[in-house]
Structure 1
Amino acid sequence: MSERDDSLSLPFSLLLDALKAAGEDTRLRLIAVLAEAELTVSDLTDILGQSQPRISRHLKLLAEAGLVERHREASWIFYRSASEGPGGKVAARLLDLLDRTDPILARDRERLDAVRATRAQAAQAYFSTHAREWDELRRLHVPEEAVEQAVREILADRPIRSLLDLGTGTGRMLELFAPDIERGLGLDLSPDMLAVARTHLDHAGIRNCQLRQSDIYAIPAPRDSFDAVIIHQVLHFLDDAGRAIAEAARVLRPGGRLLVVDFAPHDLEFLRENHAHRRLGFARDTMEGWLTASGLVPEGFRTLAPQGRKGEGLTVSLWLARDPRILMAGDISPTDRAATLSGPAGHREIA
């Protein structure tokens, strides 16, 4: 007989309450479909073909039993199957036992696909509306592929279990790291951008990342929550970049890393008028001053200059800093880290 895994055991009363909550056909269907995507009551009404009051009542019972999680995004509330706590354990076990090819669940997934298609159309419409300004910005700096490669290289020296992407935008950073992390969280203040990000993550089949609407100055997570935090092309929109860095540092675990990606100082004033940029880039010492003031240790710096004549376009800068409370296992030497940050030809380390 195999030994029992006590980590999977639950108190009698908790298990009984969870099973009572799940033991109804609509609620079991809700658990199954919410394991596929984060959805609103309106979405679920379309998928299950039931009235909004009825769906809301079932969701309330599931949430009280801890089998589903809920979060507010502007005037909408999103639901998903619980991933943590006692309810998460029960939900995961029920999902393991379910035959996903069952005709009832298969029909629900077909309707879910229709909801996703509607979302994708709305996201594409928003994206198309703003495509001209994004294309204008992309022409000013190095290709995004080069920036993404640098981001991956800089964070490649240690495993990342939990990742926070502040100002997630289209969710690209989460998509980039999703195969290598246990869980990811993307925060953005814009519901429109979150809709775009949700569509991208759904299309990529990513299930280990969540999206939340949140102010970057008030991250909805306790201290010591994440192994790595990325702030990618966000700080130049803010009035108080230093405050945002301090809040990011708060949620880093001991030894965790913060990577900031933004523009070097420039004089393209039209970005203030046309694209709401508050800051025209950041000097290395300014950024490192904020990192140090937040209790972090700056560990590396890299720049990616655009092709063309010197002085034209936008140079992208990348700053890496670490929480100094401990040196985590596998931390590399400063020499090796400098080699990692210096990157391939065309990237230069600033002394």
Structure 2
Amino acid sequence: MLELFKALADPCRLRLVAVLLKSELTVQELTQILGMGQSRISRHLKILAEAGVLTVKRQGTWSYYRAGEQNPFFTAIRPEFERALEQLPERRGDLAAVAQTLEARRKRSLEFFDQHAAQWDELSRTLLPVPEYQAGVLALIPEVAVLLEIGVGTGTLMAELARKAKQVIGVDHSPAMLVEARRRLVQDGVPGAELRLGEMTHLPIANGGVGCVVANMVLHHAPDPQAVLAEIARVLQPRGTVVLADLARHEREWAREQLADQWLGFEEGELKAWLEGAGLFEVTIERLAASGAEDVLLVKAVKH
């Protein structure tokens, strides 16, 4: 308890904790948000991490910080502590700066996919091969009235998804990707499929509007994966199902530039904690591996 109080007894560290309770950020991003030098930020982060207030996740050469649960006392006081942080004089400006940072991540991703939409299937398959997993994804999807695929891309799954639901909706933030998806839907003759322009964190779907959400290799492109999972929970009806396919944690740093990956895959425990934090339970995770390919995680969860 004394260690925690010492760690929090600094205005700069309070601002850091307040920001990292909202988002997972790098040191470089935090220097821009708080307008401080990197050495100063790094020193404060070290103190907070040693007190168990923050955790650090290293992905390649980047380190992401977020609020942690290593200090039981901090976990116990966290709800009231978060409310008190709203009174910080810099709070409004810090939140605006966080929003700008996440928007910059989103814009980089959008520009990349608009530019590479026509070549995307070949590009991703060649640069970052994965084991064949589509049959596994389809096996996890229940038959529902309305099914939503987020990050529909070029529409490679839409024809198969249409067999699982009366109505299939595909959402993507890239207009160029939606052009490619529409071309594929016409080519494959998929009836009852609808494509919509939208963000993963602001889906153009009503609360409880779908029975199943599919996210195929999209979460590692999301600026804020936890916000995406919360939005998925919002649009799912009670007992609705989410099915995810994504990369397991890897160290291919070049994927950030060549494939616009925000994250170098995910740990199984990390995904399970995020899903449960979003109100999604009965989580099952299967890891698929193949020689010469990156491991893939197949995930299923249910909204209570």
TM over 0.5: yes
Alignment of 1:1-351 (within 5 A): 129-130=119-120, 133-138=123-128, 140-142=129-131, 146-155=132-141, 158-308=142-292, 313-324=293-304
Larger radius of gyration: 1
Percent sequence identity over aligned pairs: 29
Paired amino acid for 1:319: V
Paired amino acid for 1:269: E
Q: Which has the higher contact order (CA 8 A, sep 6+)?
A: 2
Q: Structure 1 residues 127, 223: closer, same or farther in 2, change over 3 A? A: closer
Deviation (angstroms), 1:133: 2.3
Deviation (angstroms), 1:173: 2.3
Local SS of the residue matching 1:256: strand
Q: Deviations over 1:159-178 (max 9, x none)?
A: 22210000000112221121
Contact 2:117 2:154 in 1 (8 A): no
Paired amino acid for 2:127: L
Paired amino acid for 2:236: L
- Runs (4+) off by over 6 Å: none
Local SS of the residue matching 2:176: helix
Greater strand proportion: 2
Paired amino acid for 2:130: H
RMSD: 1.8
The gaps in structure 1 that reach 5 residues or longer are 1-124, 325-351
Deviation (angstroms), 1:303: 1.2
C-alpha separation in 1, matches of 2:275 and 2:135: 23
Q: Structure 1 residues 128, 253: closer, same or farther in 2, change over 3 A? A: closer
Paired amino acid for 1:134: S
Q: What is the number of residues matched between the two proteins?
A: 190
C-alpha separation in 2, matches of 1:211 and 1:287: 27
C-alpha separation in 2, matches of 1:262 and 1:282: 8
C-alpha separation in 1, matches of 2:200 and 2:120: 22
The TM-score normalised by the length of structure 2 is: 0.59
Deviation (angstroms), 1:132: 5.1
